[in-house]
Structure 1
Amino acid sequence: MSRLDSSPENPLPLRRISQALAEWIGRLGEVWVEGQVAQFVQRPGVPTCFLTLRDTDANLSIQVTCHRSVLQEPLAEGARVVLRARPDFYAERGTLSLRATEIRQVGLGEMLARIERLKKVLAAEGLFAAHRKLRLPFLPHTIGLITGRASAAERDVVENTRRRLPGAIFAIENTATQGNAAVSEMVAALHRLDAHPDVDLIVIARGGGSVEDLLPFSNEALLRAVSSLRTPVVSAIGHETDQPLLDLVADLAVSTPTDAAKRIVPDLQAELAHVAEFRTRLRASVHRRLDTEEQLIAGLPERLRQGVSRLISAGEDECERSVTRMRSRLANMLQLAEADNAQLLARVVSLSPQAVLNRGYAVLWNTDGALVRAASDVSADELLQVRVAQGEFGVTVAAYPVPTDSRL
């Protein structure tokens, strides 16, 4: 079908639009559709049956017509069906409907099988994993509660919670908990409570019911909405043996709304009793510690004396060992010094003038005390003083010729 050309100057008549819609919709052919019967009308003598088919998750419905022969068994309002139908657009009235050629009722077994398949898919995606579970606050500021209006579940949660914690604050969202509108209303309530700045815990509560009544709590849209929240969610569905999938996705699942009150808030009286018990235990512990410290202080002088005595004894022993080490060290040093002095003395003696005199040499000096170093330093008949190896004596210089090649 080509695009319809139109403009403000050349508008199309309404009948042309209706015909085009009918042609487009007619091209869809037959389709399989699932829904819930909201209304069923079968007039006596009329071969055509009329029913209203409603979406199970959204507030959406459409009219369906079928021949009486298509029905294998009578339909009841609320029944789930799968039908094969062709969409029809009635151009004269501008309405859309489905003309069914086959209708199958979905039994309880099929619904349970679908829930089991959905359970496997969500488990494979990790929506039931323990690491995704959020921790519940010990003392929630405001508790969000999603439940039916004026229901027993609401009374159980609110009254039992306030019995445990007087003054508990609730933000209550009353929604449908079964039927076609239940999922959409609960999902919208979840998002409102999750966006509430004071709500830090959400409880979804409902009393017991049949498997069909609890189907909304195994709906995929609701389960994915719960898994995406930043606020912890508690599932408090008073279910029978069959477990709704909400219990697996929620951060905490309890068996009844009454049990939820025991899990979401502490018991004030029990906590006060615990505080009193802890205070008594703490006081007893402090007294025991004081008694122990008192005993330690009483024995402190004696321990100090013993400690000081041990320190003094240890100091004396260390001083004695130090004195012994110092004496040994000094003796070694003295021995080394004596050996060095003996060697030095021997060297000094070997280099002293007395050693030269001992070899037969003599020292002369005149009366003025000047040493005689050369023959020209003396004159004839001059009195000189002579020192030899052993003693001194005087001599007079005699005048006599000195041989030129004289030798000592």
Structure 2
Amino acid sequence: MVQQALHAINSYFFPPERPLEGTLPKWLDELTRSTVDVKRIAIIGVHGWFPARLVRAVVGEPTGTSPKFCDMMAKAFLGYLSQHGISLPSDAVTCIPLEGEGTISTREALLHKNLLNNKVWCEALSLADAVFVATHSQGTPVSTILLSRLIKEGLVHPKRQRICMLAMAGVSHGPFPYLKENYIMKYYVGAGRSHDADAARELFEFMDSETLVSKRYREALTTVINSGVKIVYVASMDDQVVPLYSGLFNGVNHPSIMRAIYIDGPLYQEKDFLTSLIVFAIKLRNAGILDHGIMVQLSEVVAGSMYGEGHSALYTEIEVYTLAVRYLFETPSLGACDLKLDRFVAQQKNNPFYLPWAMRGVLEDREVSESIHLKYEIMKLRKQYEEWEPTTKAMKEVKFRLEPMRDVILGRSKL
């Protein structure tokens, strides 16, 4: 089911090509050439925030460890090569699981120290032909700042190495704002000073792009992107902690950034309107087109149950890691291009009238209305809207707010 869920985005970003008779498909030919010189791989794993037992009642039990991320990425990479008849010895892959807890700056300093203290890791990282960083939740800003530092110190070499960071359910714009008012979180965050309480408070500072920690994160991201690193941001459809707009880092834009959504099997419905609308919005962002705020408006609607596992389910799925491998090897380097950073402030409660306005913005966007492919996508969306029969109060409200979809006019012709 997850393969189907990711396919909607994969097929848009990695379109299949019909090969000429007697030749390899173009992408496979390029893949074979591009990986022939890959002899050594280094994988850095960085876990997310491990909260105190009291807070786990709100954000769930932590199960994503740095060794787990390294292991999953290694399996995805080796499996991918095997599918295409490419093999590497087992010792060609070096896993670097970095562990340590605390605030962003505390963790980054500790992880950096732990890395430098291991000469085997340092040598493997420096000699690698390709480097992957796999991280989750709070580990996303930690990993970005750490990677920026490693680039500046010359411990990784983007000019000769292929580098990709997989950020799963990252807190790039903080957790859901309403979690700050949860009685457990409110008590815990305001209960005084401790390393864990400081880390919890800091998560909510990412809700504003002008805070010191957000500025440091964005500065590091600029260094990383400008160095040629590719990044895959994957959000979870029913995440109970991190909203879609945060997991997808809504406030930044660059061709080297790919966004995707993880939809757990039981939740996936191929022709579901809301799912299709979210996937469509992500397609727009991957194509460099604004989604006009649709992702922000829908994030709270698809929030998972407080006692669900949406925040952690995505890092157990091998296809999530394979997506990062494909993105690194199947897409070309895009050269120099400035990272676009937009001001972002998460709202405690969204204005319900913004959603139809955002949808209108998409429909009237020239890059959408002048694209045959995107116009076809809009036609499918309108048909799915007509057939959509939501059962929950929140979903019924979304359908009501999008009622103007019935009279959509795109370009000069009414759909």
* TM-score, normalization by structure 1: 0.26
Task: Return the index of the structure with the highest Cα Rg.
Answer: 1
- Please state which structure has a larger fraction of its residues in helix: 2
* TM-score, normalization by structure 2: 0.26
